[in-house]
Amino acid sequence: MRTLFFLLEKEFRQLLRRKSLLGMLIIAPAIQLIIMPLAADFSVKNVSIVVVDNDHSSYSQRLINKITAGGSFKLAGYVSSYKEALKMVEQDKADLALQIPVNFERNLARENSGKLFVAINAIEGTKANLGGSYLSGIVKDFDDEIRIEWTHDATVDAPQISVASSNWYNPFLNYNLYMVPAILVTLVTAMSAMQSAFNIVQEKENGTIEQINVTPIKKHIFIIGKLIPFLVLGIILFSLGLVLGRIIYHVVPVGSLIVLYGSLVVYLFAMLGLGLLISTYSATQQQAMSLSFFFINIFNMMSGVFSSVDSMPAWAQAIVQTFPPSHFIKIMRTVVLKGSGFSDISNHLIAITIIGLVLNTWAILNYRKTA
Amino acid sequence: MEKVIQTEKLTKRFGDFVACNELSFDVDKGEIFGFLGANGAGKTTAMRMLCGLLKPTSGKASVAGFDVFTQTEKIKMNIGYMSQKFSLYDDLTVSENIRFYAGIYGMKTKNIRTKTQELLNELGLQNEAKTLVSALPLGWKQKLAFSVSIVHAPDIVFLDEPTGGVDPVTRRQFWDLIYHAADKGVTVFVTTHYMDEAEYCNRVSIMVDGVIAALDSPVNLKKQFNADNMEDVFYQLARKAKRSDN
């Protein structure tokens, strides 16, 4: 225990002395947390649409008004031919081209059906997809509207089924509520895994680790001495993130802080284990950097921050199960949005614990005081 | 005489390469034992085995009465080590470094304080106690590193080329520290490339291609090889070497 005390004293002295590093570890994530939720918003706005109105009827005018009135679409212009419309899409002046055929109103009235043609620029997948489905929604609404107007008419079909959905836990689909917890996880992940790896590799580069290795320090004590400072740093960073999320994005966790912090400690244990493992395989900070960058990139892309894990192929889902961040992101989202307790998240906690034990044991076995 | 290091046919292989081939020698308590050899002769490998940093392939060896195969942690408790690479913490002050190493060797807090003062006085670093080690000149760093390596009063201290890159005056001062430690009964096991330093040792062994080619006091070695100085002795032996660093 006394040895651990002296190790910790040394680690904290060194950490506090590196003011510039410490500043970066705190300020850089804070800036990211402020900027990223604003940018990483899935709701699609400002989809520009070019319209070819060959009908020039009151109905076609009404449809166009309805589309542009909602706020999701902005009118890029009217053109007289579909060819011209496509050209605008090609030149990136429009994301969508909508063609209203001649006799749209007449067919609608007479044959009770009208055809519209939509061309979508699929270069930007999300925008195209969502834009397309927004547009279908608007057209559907328009269709319902005119049918209601015709209800007096005999030509109307039988009543239609309509679905009304309500969004639980996030009624207004506020993306910040969904993104801030996940982004905070990615920031804590990067800090804990990378900095703990760099710290130990730095001792290798400086040759001080050799001096430690000839002392009677037990290797698990040395490793615990390395992990605790970054555990503390991780908790500070996480707390700062919660405060910023609350002030800037009004994200107030519904669940208890004890559950959040309890899970955080388990999570940090796993991620610091990864950092440690990386350090045992790296002789230089450059190697450690490359290795940890590899993992962190995969974690950020595959752990469900931006895209849902459930829609991945089965093999990918199986791999993602072994990523601690995927579990912690689930925990964060359910606790922050839904107020889940320990019993609701126990599966994820157990998974992180097992991964953490594997990583740390592997690291301790692979860290040798003898070469 | 009490033997603090004993080796018998101590061997280390890396694959087909025999870094140390059947080394057998003893070191007496309080002796200054010079461990010489050209680059790549196997000195550092031998030293790392004795310090418990490297497991030998075969043979026998004991250091401070403990076996190098099975009791490395006990060995570590009783030795000091100063590596080629400077190994104090640059971003800690002089006294913080002393405190840290004294602490992890289990010294009591009260003793650490008196020991720190004693060391600072001995090195003439009283005014530098709160200076970051990174700000010290190399010679001072080396002297400090030596003092820190024996802060826990070990039986033996292993010095791996401790004076590399240091000016002659500081080297001389460094050797004063070594003598001072030896007077107090610390056995000094030192590797060096400076032949004048070899003359300071009680006994010298010279390694060539993984084996000990000669082992005796500097006076006897000079007699044996009919040489005027250690430089000449070393040259006669090392010339026969077939392998080098690369």
Q: Give chain B's length.
A: 246
pTM score of the predicted model:
0.81
pLDDT value of position A144? 81
User: Concatenated DSSP letters for A121-162?
Assistant: -TTSHHHHHHHHHHHHHHHHHHHHHHHHHTTTSTT--SPPP-
Q: Is residue B109 part of a domain?
A: yes
Q: What is the pLDDT of residue A197?
A: 92
Domain membership flag for residue B11: no
User: Any CB–CB contact under 8 A between B76 and chain A?
Assistant: yes
Q: Which residues of A302-313 are buried (b: 16+ CB within 10 A; e: fewer)?
A: bbbbeeebeeee
pLDDT at B244: 59
Q: Is residue B187 in a domain? A: yes
Q: What is the ipTM, given to two decimal places?
A: 0.86
Q: What pLDDT, on the 0 to 100 scale, is given for residue B175? A: 92
Spans of all domains in chain A: 2-40+174-366, 47-153
Sheet containing A117-120, strands listed edge to edge, beginning at the edge strand earlier in sequence: A73-79, A47-53, A96-100, A117-120
Please tell me the distance from the alpha carbon of residue B223 to that of residue B212, in angstroms, as a whole number.
18
pLDDT per residue as tens digits for the range B180-222: 999 999 999 999 888 888 989 999 999 988 899 889 999 999 9
> Which CATH code is given to the segment(s) A47-153?
3.40.1710.10
Residues in chain A where the model's pLDDT stays below 50: 371
- What's residue B193's pLDDT? 87
- Per the CB < 8 Å rule, is A206 touching B90? yes
Give the phi and the psi of residue A12 in degrees, each rounded to 5.
-70, -35
Q: Average pLDDT, whole number, for chain B? A: 90
Residues of B in contact with A21 (CB under 8 A): none
- Cβ pair A275, A196 in contact under 8 A: yes
Contacts of B53 in chain A (CB under 8 A): 210, 213-214, 369-371
CATH number at residue B34: 3.40.50.300
Residue B104 to residue A213, Cβ atoms within 8 A: no
Residue B230 in any domain: the answer is yes
Residue B194 placed within a domain: yes
Mean pLDDT, residues B3-9 taken together: 93
Quick one: pLDDT at residue B84? 78
Q: Residues of B with CB below 8 A from A3's CB? A: 103-104, 106
Q: Which domain holds residue B223?
A: 29-56+69-238
Q: Does B12 fall in a domain?
A: no
How many domains does chain B divide into? 1
What's residue A157's pLDDT? 56
Which pLDDT belongs to residue A134?
83
B181 is a domain residue: yes
Q: How many CA atoms lie within 13 A of A237 on its CB side?
A: 33
